[in-house]
Amino acid sequence: MRFGTLDINEIAAAAPEIDGYGTEPLSLKNAQVLNVTSEVSAAGSDALLPPAMNPSIPPYVECTVMVFPDSPWGPFTTGELRLVGRAGFRPRARTFKTYVDNPKAAAELARRWGFPAVPGKAMLHPRHERIVVEINDERGRRVLDAEMMDREPISGSEIQYIASMHLARNRADGKLVLVQVDPEYVFTKVDRGFSHFIYIDQEAWGTKGLLSLTNPIISTWAQCEVILPKVRYVCDPNRNALESTVKVG
């Protein structure tokens, strides 16, 4: 069985500090979510997953952009790049970074759910036949361009988003953990299309040039309510998730 080979020490310093695991769920209404996916070459991508996770077959990445017009901290957007693998038997995705354009939202996402939040801005540009994605860092430098092409309506029952694994340091005991974050979604409108990645700045995302995109996969866009959950599970990033997962909520 294959496991990720990422050296956790390489990224430990950037891990956010999570304030325990007692956060309550948060409902964010009238959100937009765009998910663009592509297979990547297995050569090198194992080194981007922590040893707790198993690579998927085939490995693939997801760019996920969320637009929240209303929240306790004001409107904000998030833009993520994630590598999908498995934690135990279930599909899970390691989040490289989450670019957030609202400092208060970024701080709370990191403190409550361990999001690897950094300053930046994600933008969606809807067109009749496609939706264009742009993610910029805090200096306005482009770090990702992608698009969903040939969009067509589908049912929300056809979508199942993959939960994230966030590397964070627990404030109470200082331990590094992988925090499972599995939001719930209540869909009002959904489109499906074809994915097209145009540009990824791998230095900005910390992927060390190891992502080699191969076959594009289906992309989806949704209008929905996003419910950020109570944290339920964490595991040791350096040990098999089947053996080290602990229920905390």
CATH level 3 topology of 8-247: Acetoacetate decarboxylase-like (2.40.400)
The DSSP secondary structure of 72-130, one letter per residue, reads TT--EEEEEEEEEEEETTEEEEEEEEEEES-HHHHHHHHHHH---EEEEEEEEEE-SSE
Mean pLDDT of all residues belonging to the chain: 96
pLDDT of residue 180: 97
- For the chain, the structural domain boundaries read 8-247
Q: What is the CA radius of gyration of the chain?
A: 17
Q: What's the CA gap between 176 and 235, in Å, rounded? A: 9
* pLDDT tens per residue across span 110-167: 999 999 999 999 999 998 889 999 999 999 999 999 999 999 999 988 899 999 999 9
C-alpha distances out from residue 77 to 31, 32, 208, Å: 10, 9, 25
Q: Model-level pTM? A: 0.96
